[in-house]
C-alpha cells in the first residue's frame, strides 16, 4: 500500500530500499527479520524515503516488537526469577525493561497516535499498566491478542506516522 501510493513529496515512483536490521530477542535465524522494508523515491533530487508500518519492530528499537510488548507486560509482575529468565532467553536487562516501562507510561501515552487511537477501544485502558492493559482489550488467545496489539500499534513504527521521533524521545 505504501509503495502504490507513490512519493508523498513529488508523486514519483517508489523503489525498494530495504535496509539491514540486527533484531534482538528472537531466534538467531528468523527469516526476513534481518531487513526492514522501506521504499525510496526514484526521482533524482527527491529520494524521499517511505517506510511502511510494521508489526516486526516498534520504530527504531533493536528488539522485536513482540519482545518489547511482552517483556514490558511481564514487567508489571516481574520477579527476580522472571528477570533472570528474560535476561537468559532474550538478553533483556533490567535497565532496558525500565526504559521500556517509562516509554509506555510517559512517552507513548503522550503521543497524538495514542490520544486518538485509545478512543477506538471498546473499554478504557489503564495507562499505568500498559501494555498489559492494551493486550487485554483484544479478543482471542494470547497469540491472537498479541498480533492484534501489534497491528494496532503498527502506525507508530514509521516516520510517516509523524510520531517516530517523538516516540524515540528525540523531541
81 and 156 fall within a common domain: yes
Tell me: do 66 and 29 sit in the same domain.
no
- Contact call for residues 125 and 109 (beta carbons, < 8 A): no
- For 56-85, how does the pLDDT look when each residue is reduced to its tens digit (9 = 90+)? 777 666 677 777 777 777 655 567 787 787
For residues 32 and 28, the model is more confident at 32
Cross-strand bridge partners of residue 64: 57
Which structural domain range is residue 14 located in? Answer: 1-52
pTM for the model stands at 0.67
User: How many domains does the structure of the chain reveal?
Assistant: 2
Identify whether the C-beta of residue 83 lies closer than 8 Å to the C-beta of residue 74: no
User: In angstroms, rounded to a whole number, what is the distance separating the alpha carbons of residues 168 and 86?
Assistant: 23
Other CB atoms within 10 A of residue 116 CB: 10
Check whether residue 158 and residue 76 sit in a common domain: yes
Binned at pLDDT 50, 70 and 90, residue 109 comes out as: very high
Q: In 3-state terms, what secondary structure has residue 108?
A: helix
Specify whether 107 is located in the same domain as 143.
Answer: yes
Amino acid at each position: 500500500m505504501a509503495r502504490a501510493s507513490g512519493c508523498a513529496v513529488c508523486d514519483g515512483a517508489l523503489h525498494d530500499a530495504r535496509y539491514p536490521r540486527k533484531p534482538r530477542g528472537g531466534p538467531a535465524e528468523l527469516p526476513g527479520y534481518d531487513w526492514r522494508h522501506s521504499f525510496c523515491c526514484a526521482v533524482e533530487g527527491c529520494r524521499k524515503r517511505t517506510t511502511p508500518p510494521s508489526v516486526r519492530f516498534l520504530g527504531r528499537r533493536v528488539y522485536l516488537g513482540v519482545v518489547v510488548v511482552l517483556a514490558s507486560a511481564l514487567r508489571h509482575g516481574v520477579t527476580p526469577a522472571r528477570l533472570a529468565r528474560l535476561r537468559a532467553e532474550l538478553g533483556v536487562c533490567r535497565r532496558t525493561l525500565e526504559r521500556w516501562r517509562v516509554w509506555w507510561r510517559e512517552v507513548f501515552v503522550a503521543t497524538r497516535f495514542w490520544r486518538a487511537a485509545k478512543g477506538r477501544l471498546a473499554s478504557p485502558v489503564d495507562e499505568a499498566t500498559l501494555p498489559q492493559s492494551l493486550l487485554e482489550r483484544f479478543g482471542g488467545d494470547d497469540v491472537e491478542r498479541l498480533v492484534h496489539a501489534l497491528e494496532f500499534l503498527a502506525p507508530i513504527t514509521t516516520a510517516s506516522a509523524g510520531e517516530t521521533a517523538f516516540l524515540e524521545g528525540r523531541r
